């Protein structure tokens, strides 16, 4: 086994190292040593096959190209393995139901969108309703109805499903897994009574001594993560189920993977590609929305037992690796800052 210093010296410069980590038995050891937390953003030079089109690409554009190339290569490498599903019909029935229930259909604009809760999916659903004429504007206020006026691929016949999977433009939006979990925690247990009663009270009862009288509105982040650690992934609520399990990127070949970090730019790319009318734009963030900042995430992670994070990370490792997100830095040195 390499020493801590030696291991840090030979870190691969690309997020592609996650593909190696994924296939190795040393994942937990590397997390424990904090090695993965030191992996930085993709390199600034383009890999083979990427070129500076006019010599004027900005650093950000090059980083984005490298990131997309990394995602594509990692997905191809993982999904090319013999044991991975090649279509939705190769998935177990429960997993197939999940992904088909999360693929929204626009026959008018010929696209499929796999919605991921806590990754701006409400705004994408607004856009779908506007495109289909069920909503006048994306700026219409009011509680979002997540079922009505939306078409789900899972409600269609097998031949209809196959046709759309083969011929329609398919896209998904992803987010840093730990940031998404924190967003779900703060929203559901801090604001939504239904979640406090259904999940919160049970979590407190299960993990806290004398917690039977809790209304579920005082769940700690550590208690929430412990609950996720003990939960079967396939039975998780969609707001914290891994993106991989929700959208199955090996069984469904997505044409575009957008990210929450570049939300408006990536959303505009999709709207342009599907040739949406010019008056349809991605909505601005609601004034009441409390974003998860880097400082907020740092605070929560550094006040969470390292053992808990170390044990939970493998459950979301496919989201980290396939979508090229660095694992959270939970080293003592970083948390002292």
Phi, psi values for residue 152, rounded to 5°: -105, 135
Q: Is 6 part of a structural domain of the chain?
A: no
**pLDDT by residue for the chain (337 residues), tens digit each?**
444 333 333 333 334 444 444 433 344 444 444 434 443 433 333 444 444 444 445 788 888 888 888 888 889 898 888 889 999 999 999 999 999 999 999 999 999 999 999 999 999 999 999 999 888 888 776 666 667 889 999 999 999 999 999 999 999 999 999 999 999 999 999 989 999 999 999 999 999 988 778 888 899 999 999 999 999 999 999 999 999 999 999 999 999 999 999 999 999 999 999 999 999 998 887 666 678 999 999 999 999 999 999 999 999 999 999 998 999 888 878 888 7
Q: What DSSP element (H or E) covers 259?
A: strand 256-259
Flag whether 307 is in a domain: yes
Q: Is residue 29 in a domain? A: no
Range of the domain at 174: 93-336
Domain annotation covers residue 14? no
Is residue 145 domain-resident?
yes
In a domain, 187, yes or no: yes
The answer to whether position 67 is within a domain reads no
Total domains, the chain: 1
First vs last Cα of the chain: how many Å apart?
29
Instruction: Note the pLDDT of residue 142.
Output: 64
Question: How many C-beta atoms surround the C-beta of residue 149 within 10 A?
Answer: 12
Residue in 33, 30, 57, 36 with CA at minimum distance from that of residue 45:
57
Q: Residue 82: inside a domain, yes or no?
A: no
What's the CA gap between 228 and 187, in Å, rounded? 16
User: In angstroms, how far is CA 63 from the centroid of its own chain?
Assistant: 20
Q: Is 133 helix (H, G, I), strand (E, B) or coil?
A: coil
SS3 114: strand
Task: For tokens 């089109």, name the residue.
Answer: 53
The reported pLDDT for the residue numbered 25 is 35
């Amino acid at each position: 086994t390499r020493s801590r210093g030696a291991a840090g010296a030979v870190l691969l410069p690309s997020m592609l190292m996650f593909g190696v980590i994924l296939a190795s038995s040393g994942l937990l050891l590397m997390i424990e040593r904090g090695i993965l937390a030191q992996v930085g953003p993709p390199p600034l030079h383009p890999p083979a096959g990427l070129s500076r089109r006019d010599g004027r690409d900005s650093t950000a554009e090059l980083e984005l190209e490298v990131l997309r190339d990394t995602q594509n290569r990692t997905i191809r490498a993982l999904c090319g393995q013999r044991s991975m599903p090649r279509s939705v019909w190769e998935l177990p029935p429960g997993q197939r139901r999940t992904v088909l229930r999360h693929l929204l259909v626009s026959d008018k604009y010929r696209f499929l969108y796999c919605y991921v809760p806590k990754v701006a999916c409400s705004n994408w659903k607004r856009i779908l309703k506007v495109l289909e004429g069920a909503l006048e504007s994306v700026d219409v206020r009011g509680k979002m109805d997540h079922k009505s006026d939306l078409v789900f691929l899972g409600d269609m016949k097998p031949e209809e499903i196959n046709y759309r999977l083969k011929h329609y433009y398919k896209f998904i939006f992803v987010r840093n897994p730990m940031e998404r979990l924190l967003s779900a925690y703060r929203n559901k247990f801090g604001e939504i009574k239904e979640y406090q009663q259904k999940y919160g009270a049970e979590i407190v009862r299960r993990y806290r001594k004398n917690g039977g009288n809790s209304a579920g509105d005082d769940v700690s982040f550590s208690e929430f993560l412990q609950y996720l650690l003990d939960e079967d992934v396939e039975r998780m609520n969609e707001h914290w189920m891994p993106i991989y399990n929700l959208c199955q990127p090996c069984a469904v070949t997505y044409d575009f993977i957008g990210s929450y970090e570049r939300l408006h730019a990536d959303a505009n790319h999709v709207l342009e590609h599907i040739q949406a009318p010019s008056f349809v734009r991605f909505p601005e963030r609601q004034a009441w929305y409390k974003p998860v900042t880097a400082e907020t995430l740092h605070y929560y992670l550094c006040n969470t037992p390292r053992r808990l994070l170390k044990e939970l990370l493998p459950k979301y490792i496919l989201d980290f690796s396939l979508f090229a997100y660095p694992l959270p830095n939970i080293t003592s040195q970083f948390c002292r800052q």
